[in-house]
């Protein structure tokens, strides 16, 4: 993330391993000779070549659990940090209309599956419903005066 440190080593000498960096939502994989891919540098055995080198910190995204709660019945989905959740099948409830998935049992923020991304922690989304209006009783087709 733009932070660099330098050290000097003799030709065929060993480098001192820097402190492992941290990055929210990611696990540090190691130091590599390329920004992506490349070979992992082994500080115990890899020797300084006859030229300057740059080592890059590489990370893997952590996976977190999204739990979908429909009146106490739950399903889960594993999602990588900053990944998009797959919207579950729309739940049904007799006498109610599904309102959406929210981060609280009542009220809360409605989850937007097109734009909201998985945070660096497990989450629970709750199905919220709106009660359908009850139709007034009919009087057998007679209209009151």
pLDDT digits (tens, 9 = 90+) for 91-104: 999 999 999 999 99
Domain 63-131 class, CATH top level: mainly beta
Give the domain ranges of the chain: 26-61, 63-131
pLDDT digits (tens, 9 = 90+) for 101-130: 999 999 999 999 999 999 999 999 999 999
Reported pTM:
0.79
Would you state the torsion angle of the CA atoms of residues 35, 39, 40, 45, taken in this order, to the nearest 10 degrees?
A: -140
CA distance 34 to 16: 18
Residue 98 DSSP SS3: strand
CA distance 64 to 83: 10
Q: Are 56 and 4 in contact, with CB atoms under 8 Å apart?
A: no
Q: Are 88 and 75 in contact, with CB atoms under 8 Å apart?
A: yes
């Amino acid at each position: 993330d733009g932070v660099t440190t330098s050290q000097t080593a003799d030709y065929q000498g060993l480098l001192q391993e820097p402190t492992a960096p941290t990055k929210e939502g990611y696990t540090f994989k190691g130091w590599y000779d390329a920004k992506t891919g490349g070979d992992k540098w082994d500080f115990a055995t890899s020797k300084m070549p006859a030229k300057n080198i740059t080592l890059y910190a590489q990370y893997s995204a952590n996976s977190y659990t999204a739990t979908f709660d429909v009146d106490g019945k739950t399903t889960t989905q594993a999602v990588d940090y900053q990944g998009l959740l797959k919207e579950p099948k729309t739940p049904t409830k007799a006498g109610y209309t599904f309102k959406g998935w929210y981060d609280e049992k009542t009220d809360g923020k409605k989850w937007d599956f097109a734009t909201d991304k998985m945070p660096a922690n497990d989450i629970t989304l709750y199905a919220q419903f709106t009660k359908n209006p009850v139709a007034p009783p009919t009087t057998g087709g007679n209209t009151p005066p």
